């Protein structure tokens, strides 16, 4: 089984790193997310779930010129960004990253519950990156239903509001975590492998964690 380092960069943006290959998901535009500083990262690949400014700022990612094959295969699934077949906000691309023995699913801005066929396609995730804030995406209750549909081993919430960051229109992280009896808090990064504890894990955006650490130095 692969070991994949998952780092939360904020909002719906993550970095997956395995075998020295870094993949950034859904980079946000400068000044787009209240409380988050401009994003500047290096990577070997970048993917965007849809073309909204809080998910598609490719200039934030400097692609290296390393000639290295990605240590995963990608399966893509087009789903609506809303509960009206995409008529309000268009479509959203869900991506499954299949590493050897390890599967990571990023739901992007999923706007409704999954159909039975979609759930079968996405089943078997070792780690599910799921929006929980509502308004633009599924809300906290719907997120719990999607989790029940997919039965992932590790659940990482994204696209929510806290005291420090997030859109005012979306709901707070606590609205989601209150539905679970146990929640882990693990800094900004998590190593995904066969030993990673299951359940809900909350990550702090890397830049905010660095700011907190500076304030104590």
Residues 7-24 pLDDT 10s: 999 999 999 999 999 999
Band (90; pLDDT cuts 50, 70, 90): confident
Name the helix (H) or strand (E) containing 210: helix 206-215
**CB-CB contact of 15 with 23 (8 Å):** yes
Write down the pLDDT at residue 211: 64
Domains along the chain with CATH numbers: 4-215 (3.60.15.10)
Residue in the structure block whose two tokens are 């909002």:
11
Band (66; pLDDT cuts 50, 70, 90): confident
Q: What is the mean pLDDT of residues 55-84?
A: 91
In whole numbers, what is the pLDDT of the chain averaged over residues?
92
Q: What is the mean pLDDT of residues 113-132?
A: 95
Tell me 34's DSSP state: T
List the structure tokens of 57: 């700022």
List the structure tokens of 139: 């809300």
Q: What is the mean pLDDT of residues 68-72?
A: 93
Q: Is the pLDDT of residue 175 over 80?
A: yes
For 38-57, the DSSP string reads PP-EEESEEE-SSSSTTT--
Helix (H, G, I), strand (E, B) or coil at 19: coil
Band (212; pLDDT cuts 50, 70, 90): low
**CB-CB contact of 156 with 128 (8 Å):** yes
Band (84; pLDDT cuts 50, 70, 90): confident
Q: How far apart are the first and last CA of the chain?
A: 38
pTM: 0.94
Q: What is the mean pLDDT of residues 180-197?
A: 95
Any idea which of 81-85, 115-119, 181-185, 205-209 has the lowest mean pLDDT? 81-85
Q: What is the mean pLDDT of residues 180-208?
A: 95
Write down the pLDDT at residue 85: 75
């Amino acid at each position: 089984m692969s070991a994949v380092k998952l780092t939360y960069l904020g909002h719906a943006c993550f970095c997956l790193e395995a075998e020295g290959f870094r993949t950034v998901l859904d980079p946000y535009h400068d000044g787009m997310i209240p409380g988050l500083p401009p994003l500047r990262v290096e990577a070997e690949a970048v993917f965007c779930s849809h073309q909204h400014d809080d998910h598609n700022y490719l200039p934030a990612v400097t692609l290296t010129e390393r000639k290295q094959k990605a240590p995963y295969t990608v399966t893509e699934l087009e789903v609506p960004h809303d509960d009206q077949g995409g008529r309000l906000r268009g479509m959203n691309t869900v991506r499954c990253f299949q590493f050897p023995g390890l599967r990571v699913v990023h739901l992007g801005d999923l706007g409704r519950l999954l159909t039975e066929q979609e759930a079968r396609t996405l089943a078997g995730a070792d780690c599910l990156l799921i929006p929980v804030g509502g308004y633009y995406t599924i809300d906290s209750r719907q997120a719990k239903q999607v989790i029940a549909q997919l039965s992932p081993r590790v659940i990482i919430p994204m696209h929510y509001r806290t005291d420090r960051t997030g859109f005012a229109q979306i709901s707070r992280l606590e609205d989601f975590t209150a539905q679970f009896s146990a929640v882990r808090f693990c800094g900004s990064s998590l190593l995904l492998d066969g030993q990673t504890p299951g359940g809900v894990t909350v990550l702090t955006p890397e830049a905010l964690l660095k700011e907190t650490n500076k304030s104590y130095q």
